[in-house]
Amino acid sequence: MSFASPVFLWFFMPATLVAYWVLPRRWRNGLVSIASLLFYTWGAGAYTFLLLSAIAVNYTAGLLIDADRYADRRRVRRAVLWAAVAFDLGILAIWKYAGFASQQVGALSSALGLGGSPVIELALPIGISFFTFHHLSYVVDVYRQSRRAQRSPVQFVTYIAMFPQLVAGPIVRYHEISDQLADTDRNRLDDFALGFPRFAWGLAKKVVIADTIAPVADAAFASADGDMTTSAAWLGALAYTLQLYFDFSGYSDMAIGLGLMIGFKLPENFDRPYSAASITDFWRRWHMSLSRWFRDYVYIPLGGNRHGAAKTYRNLIIIFVATGFWHGANWTFLVWGVYHGALMLVERRSGWGVVTSTGPALVFRRALTFLLVVIGWVFFRAESMGQAMNVLHAMFVPSGLGLPDAVSASLTNTRSVVLLLALLVVLLPGSFVLGRVLEAGRSWRSSATRFAVMAFAGPYAAVLVAAGTFSPFLYYQF
């Protein structure tokens, strides 16, 4: 069930909110838990049992790690932690990476003349990367004693399965939300008034902008194996750059808005990433909840930047290899991660990652960073390394200014206008984040913005959804 679907917008969300308003406060988490499991079952079917199994294992592990009888037995606590981590990563390895690994084994076997080998084919459970990271955050936070284990099964299910963030984030570290789980003393109408404009803005970003641009990117990349020209390559790369941002940030806005409507403050996930003045700055602004997760649970435990340049560079490469493969089992994602990791190393070595420039120098830095990010998105979007290299070759080796027929047909007047307007996001000040303006208080600017979103942008997006023009969110596949 997608947030941008008629079933969700006109049945599931209203029914959940009405129940949230009329039921006693102490039932709030129970309602969210049940609604979240129904939401997941709608899209995942039998894979709900996989989610429930992971919930049961990690809930039990947390209780064991935090048990008083093991308070002075660090070896026992550590053994339980590693068992839970192995279980969580094992689920991810089997369901997300086993097929890819078997393909590589088969290809190597064929290359060595040993014949083919079976290829494992498993459907990817939606949201598996996200709920796995939530489980890992929980057991590690409890082990570190930054938070006590969750005694209430209902509150634990609420944290893991909360439908606003279950299938595509933001990734919520346990210590960020543990106190909120026990706080049911909220004003329901105030929650709705705060969250609905943010949700409506996210819906408009997804349906009005991202889905409108998507056919242009699809047509351009589809031409990569045929008559792709330089113009088509750059058009496709830019279209996908904007589509991905408005799709994913739109989802994040909707998730944050939904969280507010049911009484939870979820972490921000985007901070105008295309205004970044370095790749280091970009990763402080793009998918921030993922960056924070890797920083807290991988980079810092590896030593961070505390043990000299060589180990710092090693740790950065490990992080970005993991980031690439977290997004998908494909060489294109690995190359994308290594590409960003290499750029981070260059910036760390040269000092370019520290942004102190102003005026024309800052404009140049932003333009260069945006160009580097666009190049990276080619790997992220391509279905294979061959397709990625074809697109990049066309981008940097002149091969004509015309557009293939399919790409030209996709570039309608409406899509051209939306594409140009979406490109303006690159030019806006780096400190301007409209989602935060919607929650910024009672100033006339915030009030006017909320009115415009709720009176025009949101309803127009809802009309497009009713007309059947929505598509699944891109990050559902991760």
Please state the pTM of the whole predicted model.
Answer: 0.92
Predicted local confidence at residue 168, as pLDDT: 84
Predicted local confidence at residue 425, as pLDDT: 86
Residue 442: is its pLDDT beyond 70? Answer: no
Mean pLDDT of 299-312: 88
Mean pLDDT of 288-293: 95
Predicted local confidence at residue 264, as pLDDT: 92
Active site residue 340: no
Q: Which of 274, 286, 428 is nearest to 366 (CA)?
A: 274
Predicted local confidence at residue 440, as pLDDT: 64
Predicted local confidence at residue 469, as pLDDT: 66
* Percentage of residues of the chain with pLDDT beyond 70: 96
Which has the higher per-residue pLDDT, 368 or 22? 368
Q: How many CA atoms lie within 13 A of 291 on its CB side?
A: 18
Q: How confident is the model at residue 470 (pLDDT cuts 50, 70, 90)?
A: low
Residue 286: is its pLDDT beyond 90? Answer: yes
Mean pLDDT of 364-373: 95
Residue 111: is its pLDDT beyond 80? Answer: no
The answer to whether the beta carbons of residues 337 and 325 sit under 8 Å apart is yes
Mean pLDDT of 407-430: 89
Mean pLDDT of 89-108: 87
Pick the catalytic residue: 134, 287, 327, 340? 327
Which has the higher per-residue pLDDT, 368 or 447? 368
Q: Which of 99, 153, 161, 100 is nearest to 132 (CA)?
A: 161
Mean pLDDT of 166-185: 87
Most distant pair of Cα atoms in the chain: their distance: 73
The answer to whether the beta carbons of residues 454 and 196 sit under 8 Å apart is yes
Q: How confident is the model at residue 278 (pLDDT cuts 50, 70, 90)?
A: very high
